Amino acid sequence: MQRSLVSAVVQLNSQADLRSNLTACEEHVREAAGRGAEFVLLPENFAWFAADDDRARVAEDLDEGGPIIDRLRQLAAELGIAIVGGGLPERSEDPRRPFNTCVVVEKGGRVAARYRKMHLFDAELPDGTRFAESATTTPGREPVVVAVGKMRVGLSICYDLRFPELYRRLVRAGAEVMVVPSAFTERTGRDHWHALLRARAIENQVWVLAANQWGRHPGGRECYGHSLIVDPWGGITAEVSRGVGSATGRVDLERVELTRRRLPCLEHAKLTL
């Protein structure tokens, strides 16, 4: 029995306008679904991209509902597809520091899983740009793997990409596909984005779907784009490059099984987490 799913990664230029951002998301999700996509990944900050200390104002309780999660649920149910909302502000116990949450909405509109970003981006880049995500975001604690149709999907967000132990934990929990919704910067992206994504795919022998923001955003932040799909051998099978849009490809899980049989490096690992 063939196990595959037509999947799409959406690249956006989200701004500090919730309504416009959600409209853009819907347009691109509908376009991808029209090309046959059954699984659509949105980038980090897809619904709101502004100063980090402003995120708390639009944070939602995913159980009670709100403009962001309600739109995703309605769209998934209408189109009969699964949608991954790459990173949205979810209320936490600290009202000033919401979670940065990746939410999976299955085709019936039910929230199937949520992953709260564990690794927060606190860094000073070579050009002097500073980031302090931990000042405005509560970190998550648990890795998450969820079944989407016949796929087992490991969830992560942006800066998580630099921590290979997370992805090995996910693959040990059965992940065959990894999602990496991101707002990866232009400065680091041009040097590290493709290399890190391909490395995570190769070392774990999984498909990697990465949806990134692109262009300039409030506060002067600039993102790299180049949303892509990587196969278990590290080959790029689809890519958006620059601008907004989406890329679609068939994620064939038989490729995972074949790669692992031919080169059983996961079985040969000597060190465990």
Closest CA to 114 of 150, 141, 136: 141
Task: List active site positions.
Answer: 44, 117, 158
Please give the biggest Cα pair distance in the chain.
Answer: 53
Helices (H), the chain: 18-34, 67-79, 164-172, 186-204, 253-262, 265-268
Cα angle value 105/8/6 (rounded, 5°): 90
Which positions ≥6 away from 168 have C-beta within 8 Å? 203, 204, 273
CB 178 within 8 A of CB 204: yes
Determine the residue type at 192.
H
Sign (positive or negative) of CA dihedral 254, 257, 262, 265: positive
Cα 16 → chain centroid: 20
